[in-house]
Amino acid sequence: MELRNLITFIHIAELGSFTRAAEQLGYSQSTVSFQIKQLEEELGCLLFERINHTVTLTERGHELVSYAHGIRALIDEFKESLTKEELSGSIHIVTPDSICDEMITSHYIDFHKKYPSISIRFTTGDSALMLNMLDHNEADFIITLDSRLYNKDYVIAKEQLLSMHFVASTNSRFADMKKLSVKDIVNEPFILTEYGQGYRRVLDRELAKMSLEITPVLEIGRTDIITTMVAENNMISFLPDFVTKDLVDSGVLCYLDVRDIHVDIWKQLIYHKNKWISKSMKTFIDYVKEQEFSN
């Protein structure tokens, strides 16, 4: 069996396209098609269904994916055992804006000092975009701030239940009030992250269960802008504690004592089960597991 045919198979399975696999591998499309034909003839089974310009794995194709990744991992492990060269590679991580800020400011420099030849590229996006990129092998990892995600196609490398609070300026009339109801604040001026995304979507869903709705005066993904505007104006927001903790500790913001709504938000580091994990990616996973996942 030709190893290059197996590698081509992995790329097509990940990308869902002969054309995109050819572009990524630097082959012509006819070469890619010929390699898959060779592999199918050698194995005696059809690996892909080709209908109306779409490519999907057959049942046998799905079975081969896990074997193919195992073979590739063993070969790469053997190659790495032959050299003591410094770890190198590129890792693409897609996160919400607030997580991107946290990863860069809290952990990136330390990671870079330990592994200077591993390059990290951060992209920001909402949960739907992140999952789509993961499914199409356009991201190595995603980090979500959302409801707890379960999916047989994804591996949860690490997860953490986050503390969330309604926050306001310490000058707010609600600052020292105890046992607030969400009804007490729902009509106040709010600044929130974008509609339909991450923890904003989960909050709106919980409010709807109470037949309530918040209509924010401003929606923006930048949590640094949100916290600045809340601190300087008579506004309220709903944010994870890791975003607001330092400002609360310094007396700029305060947590509102809202008792009658509960929102579970999970921070999860996720990769696709069919993703080949290089040594540099494994190093990143191990590094994240050793760190505090949230402040």
Please write the tens of the pLDDT for every residue from 255-293. 999 999 989 999 999 998 878 788 888 889 998 888 765
Say which amino acid occupies 252: V
Q: What pLDDT is attached to residue 133? A: 86
What's the whole-number mean pLDDT along residues 189-218? Answer: 92
What's the whole-number mean pLDDT along residues 107-125? Answer: 87
Q: Which DSSP state fits 149? A: P
Sign, CA torsion 142/145/151/152: positive
Residues 219 and 195: beta-carbon distance below 8 Å: yes
| Cα dist from 55 to 67, 145, 179, whole Å | 20, 32, 56
Reported as half-sphere exposure (CB side, CA atoms, 13 A), residue 111 has a value of: 22
Average pLDDT, the chain: 87
Torsions phi, psi of 227, nearest 5?
Answer: -65, -35
Q: What is the largest CA-CA distance in the chain?
A: 74
**What structural domains and CATH numbers belong to the chain?**
3-81 (1.10.10.10), 89-159+266-290 (3.40.190.10), 164-263 (3.40.190.290)
Q: What pLDDT is attached to residue 209? A: 94
Residue 103 has pLDDT above 80, yes or no: no
d(CA 208, CA 65) in angstroms, rounded, equals 42
Strand partners, 237: 167
pLDDT band at 81 (very low <50, low <70, confident <90, very high): low
Residue 251 has pLDDT above 70, yes or no: yes
d(CA 11, CA 7) in angstroms, rounded, equals 6
pLDDT band at 96 (very low <50, low <70, confident <90, very high): confident
What's the whole-number mean pLDDT along residues 167-176? Answer: 93
pLDDT band at 294 (very low <50, low <70, confident <90, very high): very low
What percent of the chain has a predicted confidence (pLDDT) above 90? 35
Looking up tokens 């209509």 gives 215
What percent of the chain has a predicted confidence (pLDDT) above 70? 95
What's the whole-number mean pLDDT along residues 179-206? Answer: 92
Length of the chain in terms of residues written? 295
Strand partners, 162: 265
Pick the closest to residue 135 from 14, 262, 286 (CA basis). 14
Residue 253 has pLDDT above 90, yes or no: yes
Residues 12 and 55: beta-carbon distance below 8 Å: yes
Burial environment of residue 97 by CB neighbours within 10 A (0 to 12, 13 to 18, 19 or more): buried
Q: What pLDDT is attached to residue 239? A: 94
List of residues 6+ apart from 183 with CB closer than 8 A: 212
Q: Where are the alpha helices (DSSP H) in 82-169?
A: 97-102, 109-114, 127-135
Torsions phi, psi of 192, nearest 5?
Answer: -130, 165
Residue 80 has pLDDT above 60, yes or no: yes
Looking up tokens 């700029």 gives 252
β-pair type (265-272, 154-162): antiparallel
Q: What pLDDT is attached to residue 215? A: 93
d(CA 144, CA 157) in angstroms, rounded, equals 12
pLDDT per residue as tens digits for the range 121-168:
888 888 888 888 888 778 899 999 898 988 888 999 999 999 999 999
Q: What pLDDT is attached to residue 252? A: 94
pLDDT band at 295 (very low <50, low <70, confident <90, very high): very low
What's the whole-number mean pLDDT along residues 72-86? Answer: 66
Helix (H) or strand (E) holding 90: strand 89-95
List of residues 6+ apart from 241 with CB closer than 8 A: 162, 163, 164, 165, 248, 294, 295
Q: What pLDDT is attached to residue 125? A: 83
Q: Global pTM? A: 0.69
